[in-house]
Amino acid sequence: MSRPFWQTLAWRLTLAFVLVSALTLGVVGLVSTASTRTQFSALVGAQAKEAVEQEVQAYVERSGTVAGFRLPDPSRSQQPGGQARSDARSRGPEGPAPAASRSAWLVLDPGRRAVFSTPEVPQGTPVLDREATAISLGGAVVAYLAPSGVSPRLDRRSEEFLTRTAQAIGWAMLGATLIAVVMALLISHTLLKPLGDLLGGIHALQRGEAPTAPARVRRDEFGEVLEAFGAMHRSVLRSQQARRQLTADLAHDVNTPLSVVSGTLEGILDGTFEPTPARLAKLHRETQYIARLVNDLRFLSLADAGELRMNIVPTDIVALVTAATEQFRELAEAQGVSLRQVGAAQGLSVPLDGVRLTQVMQNLLHNALTHTPPGGQVTVEVGATPTAVQVRVRDTGRGIAAEHLRQVFDRLYRADTSRSSQGSGLGLSISKSIVEAHGGRIEIGSAPGEGTAVALSFPRAASAFAPQAGG
């Protein structure tokens, strides 16, 4: 959705940057102008004081006394005799000192009586209450200088100089403000570009499209946000794909037995088929398959919601594995497969849910016997370390190809798609949920023609995991 520029975050950032810059530059400009005027006035005052001292020294050198001293008029550039000399000496290092600045000083005789004064201090008045500077000539004090109390004023040239200086500072502030505007636009564009990329990724996610990698990888916090969003984007797309695949697989798995049940019942109802015990047994098997599939899906939904009820108690895992293995002994012999248990013979007490772990073992043993040909072998191993207990189920079956191995824990996934009636495809998903609910790990390794091994690992301490409870 497009919006006016003045309603965008870029405008707000630019405005904030410009306002801060203008405020800062304004303060700097005002301080600089005031400081320049103050320092310049101090310089002129110092020059004026030096000029008055030189005038007094020249007058005393000519007259022998400070009596009758008067400041010459600097505007009179040509005067005869010594006055011209005094006029020349009244010039400071930067030019003639302004008369208004020189009148800010009182000239006192050695007895500190006013010689050259202002109307506020009549001539001959003793001035003892002001700090005075002694003027010496030939090693003797011939006069004193004291502040007159008159505020010094700058002449026209000085005022013009300060005006030009203030204008230069103003133009510099204006130029700096323009530069600040340009820099603010560039910075806001640079800072907000990742937000644009993020917004584009969100729109792509809404359309169900794959995320587009940025042209340049950023190494700052924005880069981390974009990278995290990209990872989340890919994860959501995988979840969407998995959900679509799950729906399709579930529809296929339910449709097959429902078609069998529906077709058989229609045949019985219209008299085509006789309701023989064999046909009724077939219908029973198909309905049982649907019921198992629904129950397995409900189990996984509870596990996903964190509401899977777990009855965690200390359990002898060796006895539990042995009991589960013995349940498949007869089936293994009927298939011509050797089933044996090795490893720890003594009891290993582990905090777990015996019913759930038995369900896991039944899933693993059923899978192993299903995919192991006659003459093969299925081995169940139980071992322990100081911190964990391991259970491993190995078979010598045909194995699983590498391209399928990463997906065996996905729901309704079958490496052999032709085996639509041999299981729901949820056994390993359920087993993974149960093991992880115990705080354990489940791993699988396989190679075509060499068999498959599934390893379970459970912590021996009850505090190593948080049991889940609920409906």
Does 61 share its domain with 133?
yes
Give 420's pLDDT tier (boundaries 50, 70, 90). Answer: very low
Does 318 share its domain with 458?
yes
Q: Is residue 456 part of a domain?
A: yes
What's the number of domains the chain is made of?
A: 3
Q: Is residue 237 part of a domain?
A: yes
Does 93 share its domain with 231?
no
- The pLDDT of 172-191, averaged and rounded, is 82
Q: Is the pLDDT confidence value at 145 over 70?
A: yes
When mean pLDDT is compared across 48-62, 103-117, 222-236, 254-268, the lowest value belongs to 222-236
Report the DSSP pairing between strands 377-384 and 338-343: parallel
> What is d(CA 70, CA 49) in angstroms, rounded to the nearest whole number?
15
pLDDT of res. 91: 44
Distances (CA, A) of 414 to 207, 253, 453, 463: 30, 12, 17, 36
pLDDT of res. 84: 39
When mean pLDDT is compared across 305-314, 370-379, 412-421, 454-463, the lowest value belongs to 412-421
Q: Is residue 169 part of a domain?
A: no
Q: Is residue 164 part of a domain?
A: no
Does 407 share its domain with 293?
no
Q: Is the pLDDT confidence value at 400 over 70?
A: yes
Does 321 share its domain with 299?
no
Q: Is the pLDDT confidence value at 3 over 70?
A: no
- Work out the angle at residue 164's Cα, subtended by the Cα atoms of residues 91 and 176, and round it to the nearest 5 degrees: 140
Q: Is the pLDDT confidence value at 393 over 90?
A: yes
pLDDT of res. 268: 87
Q: Where are the alpha helices (DSSP H) in 90-155?
A: 99-102
pLDDT of res. 456: 92
Q: What is the DSSP letter of 7?
A: G
- The pLDDT of 170-187, averaged and rounded, is 84
Q: Is the pLDDT confidence value at 260 over 70?
A: yes
CATH number at residue 339: 3.30.565.10
Report the DSSP pairing between strands 105-108 and 140-147: antiparallel
Q: Is residue 239 part of a domain?
A: yes
Does 248 share its domain with 322?
no
Does 300 share its domain with 361?
no
- The pLDDT of 235-262, averaged and rounded, is 74
Does 150 share its domain with 14?
yes
pLDDT of res. 350: 86
Q: Is residue 72 part of a domain?
A: yes
Question: What range does the domain containing 248 cover?
Answer: 221-304
pLDDT of res. 76: 47
Rounded to two decimals, the pTM is 0.47
Looking at 246, 271, 304, the residue that finishes a domain is 304
Residue among 312, 258, 295, 273 nearest 437 (CA)? 312
Phi, psi of 408 (to 5 degrees): -65, -25
Q: Is the pLDDT confidence value at 357 over 70?
A: yes
Looking at 271, 304, 337, the residue that finishes a domain is 304
Q: Is the pLDDT confidence value at 465 over 50?
A: no
Give 128's pLDDT tier (boundaries 50, 70, 90). Answer: confident
CB burial string 266-285: b at 16+ within 10 A, e below: eebeeeeeeeeeeeeeebee
pLDDT in tens, 196-245: 777 777 777 677 666 665 555 566 676 777 777 777 877 777 777 767 76
pLDDT of res. 380: 93
- The pLDDT of 177-187, averaged and rounded, is 82
pLDDT in tens, 314-344: 988 889 999 989 989 999 999 999 999 887 6
Answer positive or negative: Cα dihedral of 38, 39, 40, 45: positive
Phi, psi of 409 (to 5 degrees): -90, 0
Does 38 share its domain with 110?
yes
Residue among 441, 444, 464 nearest 454 (CA)? 444
Q: Is the pLDDT confidence value at 275 over 50?
A: yes
Q: Is the pLDDT confidence value at 88 over 80?
A: no
- What percent of the chain is predicted at pLDDT more than 90? 8
Report long-range pairs for 37-46 (Cβ below 8 Å, ≥24 apart).
37/162, 40/154, 40/158, 40/161, 40/162, 41/152, 41/154, 43/94, 44/97, 44/98, 44/101, 44/152, 44/154, 44/158, 45/101, 45/104, 45/152
Does 52 share its domain with 104?
yes
Looking at 282, 304, 326, the residue that finishes a domain is 304
Q: Is residue 211 part of a domain?
A: no
Does 367 share its domain with 453?
yes
Q: Is the pLDDT confidence value at 41 over 60?
A: yes
Q: Is residue 178 part of a domain?
A: no
CB burial string 400-428: b at 16+ within 10 A, e below: beeebbeebbbbbbbbeeeeeeebbbbbb
Q: Please, what is the average pLDDT of the chain?
A: 77
Does 31 share its domain with 141?
yes
Question: Contact at 8 Å (CB) between 443 and 392?
Answer: no
pLDDT of res. 338: 92
**Residue 24 host element (H or E):** helix 9-63
Question: Contact at 8 Å (CB) between 415 and 401?
Answer: yes
The residue written with tokens 């004193």 in the block is 144
- The pLDDT of 144-154, averaged and rounded, is 76
pLDDT of res. 89: 42
